């Protein structure tokens, strides 16, 4: 039995501890906003927060989450109220949308760490997240927009 | 007001929707040649659109094209909402079920492709909105005992002269009982309020909170997950397999043989995948086990030495070449490419004794349904497909052989349970249906003044259409595939002696349309070669093109716009150079200027300026996004991507060996739209062809070396 918290709710699961967290989130917990793209930490579609740190859940065994806090896209905000979500709407960022959960989760950590990120900061934080539709220019704009929206001191 | 006279036999089919409200389907016969044939049989009209207005004011637009990022769930509703005078904030979308009434009016089947969703649906969706509006007005007129002509509509309401109003939701039930209009009036485009504006995409909210459902997210009660072990070599067949270890692994329910390989069905994806990897299969590898792309390209080079099937011949290119003051010969090569959608292929099938229900992200509902029905042993009408969001398509999910759908039906049939078949990234990349590799051998010459006098393109590559249901329709008995030569057969440059020849290669690698299809390589080869001809005569490549395009004002307009916005001819920081390209594809004109530098053999693209003329447009915001995405998609291919085979085996497996452009490599992209009242053209694909040649031509500017092979490797530049 593995226990951890997901989006502030406690879960206890009887799963093989070597199963990647991604599949436990998607299949055991029904949180399908986190996506499978490569299975080898190459594309970032599966990005979630583990104790506030952005991780690739496709290569993280669920055992790594034991006793910790996991946040997925479903937990970013209850109502599209996160500054990044406002900015994503304003910049009309998504196309197919498949990678966007991962993009947002990576960007959320960036903004918490660097409330006024430079383009270089964005490159560094976002280069692990592939978008095949090519929304990068809009993601960059949206991150700057979200940063400008937030009070000094950063996001929650 | 322009008026669309509806034919006598046209009719509006109306029923009260289950939720209460108005459900309108506009049946418009004669909308296409294919429909005309059906009309004669009197069994079916070509229906064009649907909408549903609820008593809760929601207007749901049923979209007959698949949303794969290109924005059809926004652009098509905009067209309908414009004529309906709907409240845009109340508009929703729904994917159409499979039904002939949702057929693409040009292609005659339900398909999303050819960058055609907006222009093919432009009148249909407007007609549907206008018809609904007329019935809502009629309902209000009856209620108020007023003359319908005295009423007007605005933002989801009908108003009279005293500004008394009834909302569409309030009128929905009464409107459903109104007589359909004999004719509908469409707005003069000058009166458009919504069409032509950068309305925000309707699907963004659910794509930023994790709620959007893609095929891979579908979960039905009792459904199991399957992962399939497929042939390591194209055409290989299972001789025998040993699942003694796999079948005892946790969660494994069934292991079954299917035509494409061996399927492991388990409680979860991870269990199915682990057990799939543990199945030992002895393959009969067939003829392709020695296949190598390097050998294939060598054969292509040999083939290009002899004349191919004539596609186009103006004047006498050989004689003109013999007399040319200077000549040049260049061989351009492009590799097989994967579509590499972010969402790997998947398909959910619930097969029962007398029905088959499918959930998947497909671009090709009509064909998938027929193929699924055949595999299931059921009539077409017993098969339904629920089209989910597509995590990218780019052509891969419109497979004439319906490979990923048919396979899932076979798995469900063999396992006897509802299944979701999920492909791993590696499975997806190795699964075939690639952009075909192509070789263009081009010879050309200029006269003493540097003006081109001769051009001969010889193409070698596989046909996409050959062997598919499109062969008869598209090839029309020709010995070449129009999809192979599109973009070179209509070369716009004024060159008096011009020949295009095609060699159709027979190779056992399944190939398919990949965003911009033939233009993805013809744009590269022709726009690089015209640059080489310009250099031969010591001419500026932009001015050289201009002088050859005097009879093509729309080419010229995008070329000029891109050049002007990019600052063509103005100084750049040391080490940087610009390259230019222009191309017509999918009824739209695009020109791009790329700015690059080359350091230690590595090409860096700093900026791309893209100008498009796609005729009368619907949503400039979506157009900009498609131009940005098209350039990045093409730049990924130009800089990084190639699929190679050795011993029949694909050498690439995942993003690390088939890279995609990332944030830190992404150039600044500026997009511009030419204001135009011409007929609407496409936008999903036209932004792709110019990027590779613009980059390659800029590399020449920066280094003096010509790129003739993609992906770009400076060690191979000449």
Per DSSP, which regions of B559-587 are E strands? 576-585
Q: Which of B393, B422, B451 is the last residue of a domain?
A: B422
Q: Give the model's pLDDT for residue B49.
A: 54
Domain assignment of residue B427, yes or no: no
**Cβ within 8 Å of B, A 74-103:** 74, 76-77, 80, 85, 88-89, 92-101
pLDDT value at B257 more than 60: yes
The answer to the question of residue B180 being in a domain is yes
Using a CB-CB cut-off of 8 Å, the residues of chain A touching B219 are: 27, 30, 32
Same domain, B302 and B322: yes
- Residue given tokens 């490419």 in the structure block: B337
A122 contacts B663? CB cut-off 8 A: yes
> Residue A123 and residue B203: Cβ atoms within 8 Å?
no
Q: Measure Cα distances from B230 to B234, B260, B263, B282 in Å.
A: 9, 6, 9, 12
Query: Is B539 inside a domain boundary?
Result: yes
Distance CA B176, CA B22 (A): 5
Instruction: State the best of A73, A84, A134 to mutate against chain B, taking most chain B CBs within 10 Å.
Output: A134
Structure tokens at B333: 């090569």
C-alpha–C-alpha distance, residues B247 and B270, integer Å? 14
Give the tokens for residue B584. 């017509």
CATH-assigned architecture of domain A83-149: Orthogonal Bundle (1.10)
User: How confident is the model over B247-272, as a mean pLDDT?
Assistant: 98
For an interface test with A, which of B631, B639, B659, B663 has the most A Cβ atoms less than 10 Å from its Cβ?
A: B663
Question: Which residues 111-140 on chain A approach chain B with CB closer than 8 angstroms?
Answer: 122-124, 126-140
Q: What is the largest CA-CA distance in chain B?
A: 83
Q: pLDDT-based confidence at B177, cuts 50/70/90?
A: confident
Looking at the complex, does the CB of residue A17 fall below 8 Å from at least one CB of chain B?
no
- Residue among B200, B203, B191 at smallest CA distance from B126: B191
Tell me which of B377 and B123 has the higher pLDDT.
Answer: B377
- Closest residue in chain A to residue B249, using alpha carbons only: A16
Contact B210 A92 (CB under 8 A): no
Calculate the alpha carbon distances from B434 to B321, B428, B588, B709 in Å. Answer: 36, 11, 24, 18
Best of A35, A78, A96 to mutate (most B CBs within 10 Å, chain B) = A96
- Per-window interface: A 24-83 vs B, CB < 8 A: 26-28, 30-40, 42-43, 45, 72-74, 76-77, 80
CATH of the domain at B192: 3.30.365.10
For residue B435, give how far its alpha carbon lies from the nearest alpha carbon of chain A (Å). Answer: 16
Whether pLDDT at B321 is above 80: yes
* pLDDT tens-digit series, residues B491-504: 999 999 999 999 99
| Length of chain A as a residue count | 156
In-domain check, residue B428: no
pLDDT at B10 over 50: no
Percent above pLDDT 70 for chain B: 93
Percent of chain B clearing pLDDT 90 (strictly above) = 88
For the cut 70, the answer to whether the pLDDT of residue B44 exceeds it is no
Q: Helices (DSSP H) in B418-539: which residue ranges?
A: 425-430, 470, 482-485, 519-536
What's the gap in Å between the CA of B594 and the closest CA on chain A? 16
Q: Tell me how long chain B is.
A: 718
CATH class of this structure's domain A2-75: alpha beta
* Helices then strands, each counted (H, E), chain B: 18, 30
Indicate the residue among B191, B207, B223 that finishes a domain. Answer: B207
Please say if the pLDDT value at position A145 is more than 90. Answer: yes
Do residue B606 and residue B515 come from a single domain? yes
List Cβ neighbours of B169 (8 Å cut-off, separation of 6 or more): B21, B53, B54, B55, B56, B57, B58, B156
Residue-level pLDDT at B15: 30
The C-alpha torsion from B115 through B121 and B123 to B126, rounded to 10°, is: -130
| Cβ–Cβ under 8 Å, residues B615 and B587 | yes
Is B201's pLDDT higher than 60? Answer: yes
Residues B143 and B106 in one domain: yes
A101 touches A108 (CB < 8 A): no
pLDDT of B80-113, one tens digit each? Answer: 999 999 999 999 999 999 999 899 988 999 999 9
Picking from B676, B470, B653, B480, the residue whose alpha carbon sits closest to that of residue B589 is B676
Tell me whether residues A123 and B664 touch, CB distance under 8 A: yes
pLDDT of residue B655: 98
Among B422, B456, B481, the domain boundary falls at: B422
Domain that residue B381 falls in: 215-286+345-422
Q: Where are the beta strands (DSSP E) in B296-409?
A: 309-314, 326-334, 346-352, 355-360, 383-387
- Residues of chain A positioned with their CB less than 8 A from the CB of B661: 134, 136
Residues from chain B that touch A26, judged by Cβ atoms under 8 A, are 217, 269
The mean-pLDDT minimum among B351-360, B466-475, B585-594, B707-716 falls in B466-475
Angstrom distance (rounded) from CA B336 to CA B505: 13
**pLDDT confidence bin for B376, thresholds 50/70/90:** very high
Nearest C-alpha in B relative to A32: B217
- Going by C-alpha positions, the residue among A90, A155, A73, A77 that lies closest to residue A116 is A155
A59: nearest Cα among A75, A38, A74, A73: A38
Going by the DSSP 8-state scheme, the letter that residue B662 receives in this structure is -
Q: In terms of domains, do B326 and B192 share one?
A: no
Kindly state whether residues B537 and B388 are assigned to the same domain. no
Say if residue B159 is in the same domain as residue B223: no
What's the CA gap between B608 and B590, in Å, rounded? 12
Which residues in A lie closer than 8 A to residue B515 (C-beta atoms)? none
On whether the CB atoms of residues B621 and B592 are closer than 8 A, the answer is no
Pairing state between β B383-387 and B355-360 = parallel
Q: How many domains does chain B have?
A: 3
- Chain B closest CA to A152's CA: distance in Å? 24
- pLDDT given at position B35: 33
Give A105→chain B minimum CA distance, Å: 10
Is the same domain home to B179 and B239?
no
In this predicted structure, the answer to whether residue B24 has a pLDDT above a threshold of 70 is no
Binning pLDDT at 50, 70 and 90, where does residue A152 land?
low
Same structural domain for residues B258 and B298?
Answer: no
Residue B392 is predicted with a pLDDT of: 98
Cis amide leading into B711 (omega within 30): yes
Terminal CA-CA length for chain A: 31
Task: Check residue B301 and give its pLDDT.
Answer: 98
Spatial separation of the C-alpha atoms in residues B378 and A7, rounded to whole Å:
45
* Of B23 and B644, more confident: B644
**Chain B residues within 8 A of A80 when measuring between CB atoms:** 205, 208-209
Give A94 to chain B, closest Cα distance, Å.
6
B14 — pLDDT class (breaks 50, 70, 90):
very low
Look at A80 and B342 and tell me if their CB atoms are within 8 Å.
no
Q: Do B168 and B274 have their domain in common?
A: no
Residues of chain B neighbouring A139 (CB-CB closer than 8 A)? 663
**Confidence grade of residue A154 (pLDDT, cut at 50, 70, 90):** very low
Asked whether residue B170 is domain-assigned, the answer is: yes
Are B359 and B250 in a shared domain? yes
Using the predicted structure, report yes or no on whether residue A20 has a pLDDT greater than 80. Answer: yes
Q: How far is CA B657 from the centre of its chain?
A: 24
Copy the structure tokens of residue A31: 């949180």
Domain boundaries, chain A: 2-75, 83-149
Whether residues B504 and B646 fall in one domain:
yes
**Cα distances (Å, whole numbers) of residue B368 to A47, A96, B214, B406, B634:** 33, 21, 17, 8, 28
Residue whose tokens read 């098509």: B76
What value does the mean pLDDT take over residues B547-554?
A: 98
Choose the weakest-confidence range: A22-36, B169-183, B407-421. B169-183
Does B155 reside within a domain? Answer: yes
Question: Phi, psi (5° rounding) for residue B264?
Answer: -105, 125
Instruction: Give B440-465 pLDDT, tens digit per residue.
Output: 999 999 999 999 999 999 999 999 98
pLDDT in tens, B657-711: 999 999 999 999 999 999 999 999 999 999 999 999 999 999 999 999 999 999 9
| Nearest by Cα to B185 from B37, B83, B99, B286 | B83
For residues B201 and B219, membership in a common domain is answered with: no
Report CB contact under 8 Å: B662, A127: yes
**Is residue B298 predicted with pLDDT exceeding 80?**
yes
């Amino acid at each position: 039995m593995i226990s951890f918290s997901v989006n502030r709710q406690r879960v206890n699961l009887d799963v093989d501890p070597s199963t990647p967290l991604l599949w436990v989130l998607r299949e055991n917990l029904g949180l399908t906003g986190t996506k499978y793209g490569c299975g080898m930490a190459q594309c970032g579609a599966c990005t979630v927060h583990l104790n506030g740190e952005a991780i690739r859940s496709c290569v993280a065994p669920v055992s790594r989450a034991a006793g910790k806090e996991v946040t997925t896209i479903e937990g970013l905000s209850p109502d599209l109220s996160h500054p990044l979500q406002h900015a994503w709407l304003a910049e009309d960022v998504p196309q197919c949308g498949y990678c966007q959960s991962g993009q947002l989760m990576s960007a959320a950590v960036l903004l918490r760490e660097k409330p006024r990120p430079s383009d270089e900061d964005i490159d560094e934080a976002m280069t692990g997240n592939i978008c095949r539709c090519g929304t990068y220019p809009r993601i960059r704009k949206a991150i700057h927009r979200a940063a400008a929206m937030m009070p000094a001191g950063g996001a929650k | 007001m322009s008026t669309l006279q509806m034919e006598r036999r046209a009719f509006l089919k109306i029923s009260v929707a289950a939720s209460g409200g108005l459900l309108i389907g506009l049946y418009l016969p004669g909308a296409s040649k294919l429909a005309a044939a059906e009309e004669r049989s009197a069994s079916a009209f070509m229906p064009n659109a649907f909408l549903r207005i609820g008593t809760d004011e929601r207007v749901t637009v049923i979209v007959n094209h698949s949303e794969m990022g290109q924005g059809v769930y926004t652009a098509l509703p905009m067209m309908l909402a414009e004529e309906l005078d709907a409240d845009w904030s109340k508009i929703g979308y729904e994917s159409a079920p499979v039904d002939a009434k949702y057929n693409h009016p040009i292609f005659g089947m339900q398909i999303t492709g050819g960058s055609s969703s907006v222009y093919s649906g432009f009148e249909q969706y407007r007609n549907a909105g206008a018809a609904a509006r007329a019935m809502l007005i009629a309902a209000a007129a009856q209620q108020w005992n007023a003359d319908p002509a005295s009423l007007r509509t605005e933002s989801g309401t009908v108003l009279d002269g005293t500004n008394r109003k009834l909302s569409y939701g309030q009128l929905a039930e009464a409107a459903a009982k109104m007589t359909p209009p004999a004719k509908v009036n469409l707005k003069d485009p000058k009166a458009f309020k919504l069409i032509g504006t950068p309305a925000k995409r309707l699907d963004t909210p659910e794509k930023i909170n994790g709620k959007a459902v893609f095929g891979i997210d579908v979960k039905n009660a009792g459904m199991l997950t399957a992962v399939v072990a497929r042939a390591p070599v194209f055409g290989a067949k299972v001789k025998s397999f040993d699942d003694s270890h796999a079948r005892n692994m946790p969660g494994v329910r069934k292991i079954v043989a299917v035509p494409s390989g061996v399927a492991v069905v388990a409680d979860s994806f991870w269990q199915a995948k682990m057990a799939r990897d543990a199945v030992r299969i002895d393959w009969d590898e067939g003829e392709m086990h020695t296949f190598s792309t390097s050998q294939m390209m060598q054969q292509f080079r040999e083939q290009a030495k002899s004349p191919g099937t004539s596609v186009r011949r103006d004047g006498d290119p050989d004689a003109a070449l013999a007399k040319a003051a200077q000549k040049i010969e260049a061989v351009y090569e492009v590799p097989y490419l994967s579509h590499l959608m972010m969402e790997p292929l998947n398909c959910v099938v619930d097969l029962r004794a007398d029905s088959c229900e499918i959930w998947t992200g497909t671009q090709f509902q009509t064909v998938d349904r027929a193929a699924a029905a055949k595999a299931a042993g059921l009539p077409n009408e017993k098969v339904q497909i629920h089209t989910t969001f597509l995590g990218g398509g780019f052509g891969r999910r419109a497979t004439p052989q319906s490979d990923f759908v048919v396979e899932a039906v076979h798995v469900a049939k063999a396992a006897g349970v509802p299944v979701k078949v999920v492909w791993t990234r590696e499975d997806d990349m190795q699964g075939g249906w690639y952009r075909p590799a192509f070789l263009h051998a081009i010879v050309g010459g200029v006269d003493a003044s540097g003006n081109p006098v001769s051009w001969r393109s010889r193409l070698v590559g596989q046909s996409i259409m050959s062997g598919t249901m499109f062969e008869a329709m598209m090839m029309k008995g020709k010995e070449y595939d129009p999809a192979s030569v599109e973009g070179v057969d209509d070369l716009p440059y004024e060159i008096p002696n011009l020949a295009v020849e095609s060699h159709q290669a027979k190779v056992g690698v399944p190939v398919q349309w990949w965003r911009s299809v033939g233009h993805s390589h013809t744009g590269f080869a022709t726009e690089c070669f015209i640059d080489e001809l310009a250099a031969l005569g010591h001419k500026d490549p932009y001015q050289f093109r201009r002088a050859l395009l005097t009879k093509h004002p729309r080419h010229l307009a995008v070329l000029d716009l891109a050049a002007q916005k990019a600052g063509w001819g103005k100084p750049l920081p040391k080490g940087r150079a610009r390259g230019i390209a222009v191309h017509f594809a999918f009824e739209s004109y695009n020109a791009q200027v790329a700015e690059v530098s080359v350091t230690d053999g590595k090409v860096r693209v700093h900026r791309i300026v893209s100008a498009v003329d796609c005729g009368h447009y619907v949503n400039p915001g979506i157009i900009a996004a498609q131009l940005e995405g098209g350039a990045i998609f093409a730049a990924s291919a130009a800089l990084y991507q190639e699929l190679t085979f050795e011993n029949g085996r694909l050498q690439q497996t995942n993003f690390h060996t088939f890279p995609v452009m990332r944030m830190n490599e992404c150039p600044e992209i500026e997009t511009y739209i030419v204001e135009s009242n011409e007929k609407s053209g496409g936008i999903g694909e036209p932004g792709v062809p110019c990027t590779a040649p613009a980059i390659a031509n800029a590399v020449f500017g920066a280094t003096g070396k010509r790129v003739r092979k993609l992906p770009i490797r400076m060690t191979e530049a000449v």
